[in-house]
Amino acid sequence: MDDDAQHFIEPAVGIKELDSSCPGSVSQDKAEHKEAQDRLDQEHVTRVLLEFLPIIRRMAGVMAFKNPFSLDVEDLTSAGAMGLLSALKRYDPTRDIKFRTFAEYRIRGMMLDEIRAMDWVPRSVRFRRDQVRQIVEEHLQKNGMPPTSQELATLLGVPIDEIEGVGGCDPRLISLDEPVGQGEDECTLRDVLPDVNHLDPFVACADAEMKAALSAALETLSARQQEVLQSYYHTGLTMKEIGHQMGLTESGVCRVHSGALRHLRIELKRIEDGGCSATRPKNLRKTRVGND
């Protein structure tokens, strides 16, 4: 080897030794390689998602249509996308199975899990309802008419109460923003549903009139009758406790109570018929108090 060749080799060996002696340079190369690999993986995932998106949406639409209660197709689509990502992680190329077949299986499974999570009805109830539906269809094809509840209970071998309970369990999720009507009459369920917290003016007026009539009728009662009603309905005392408090027997309190209710019915009927409440004279009140 001549001197010129030896002159070029020595610096090259020196540079190689210098690179191997710098761990920071090696770590940087590994980080750059990992970043490039992650970028390639992300691009691959994005490409697969775009390829399978029409398939996921079609499967979500079919499941939402067949399900017994309304579901948001977008929620099922998101669940299907998660199933596709799970398929990408779990797929084994060495197995004799196509990736599309494996991915569709995982997508459908994730959608079913989402449906079960959103369904609050026990699976046993849904299974029983499917049995009832199948037996009804078979009976209808065979006899030309649906079975009665008693016949259905006999065919299933269960009490008739259970059949009636299953028949009434058909929950459906409905969005308040779901449009109803057509054309100018189109609106949402939120617009047509009554507000349970809103006080109806007619009900409020009728309630106020009833309270005024009851108050006027109560004023026509004797002092003893008012005291019994106050103690029994407002304070919550028993007939025996009221009798001990007023110096009466329990049967005596019952007679006062019955007389007060009878008088109130008469007075309220008179007010309802358009008459005014009649206030009894004071001497008559005293007489009735003594008689009671």
Q: Per the confidence metrics, is the pTM higher than 0.85?
A: no
Per-residue confidence (pLDDT) for residue 282, from 0 to 100:
44
Q: For the purposes of burial, counting CB atoms within 10 Å of the CB of 75, is it exposed (0-12), middle (13-18) or buried (19 or more)?
A: middle
60 φ, ψ (degrees, to nearest 5):
-65, -40
Domain boundaries, the chain: 3-118, 123-174, 201-291
Q: Where residue 8 falls among pLDDT bands split at 50, 70, 90?
A: very low
Same CATH fold assignment for domains 123-174 and 201-291: yes
Q: Is the pLDDT of residue 203 over 50?
A: yes
Model pLDDT for residues 66-77, shown as the tens digit of each residue? 765 556 788 889
Exposure string over 185-220, b if 16+ CB within 10 A, otherwise e: eeeeeeeeeeeeeeeeeeeeeeeeeeeebeebbbeb
Task: Name the CATH code of domain 201-291 (choices 3.60.15.10, 2.30.30.40, 1.10.10.60, 1.10.10.10).
Answer: 1.10.10.10
- Give kind and range of the element (H or E) at residue 187: strand 187-188
C-beta separation of 139 from 153 below 8 A: no
Identify the CATH assignment for 3-118 out of 1.10.150.310, 1.10.1740.10, 1.10.1670.40, 3.20.20.70: 1.10.1740.10
20 or 256, greater pLDDT: 256
pLDDT at 124 over 90: no
| Whole-number Å distance between alpha carbons of 68 and 125 | 13
123-174 CATH: 1.10.10
pLDDT in tens, 13-54: 443 443 444 555 556 655 655 565 556 578 888 888 888 999
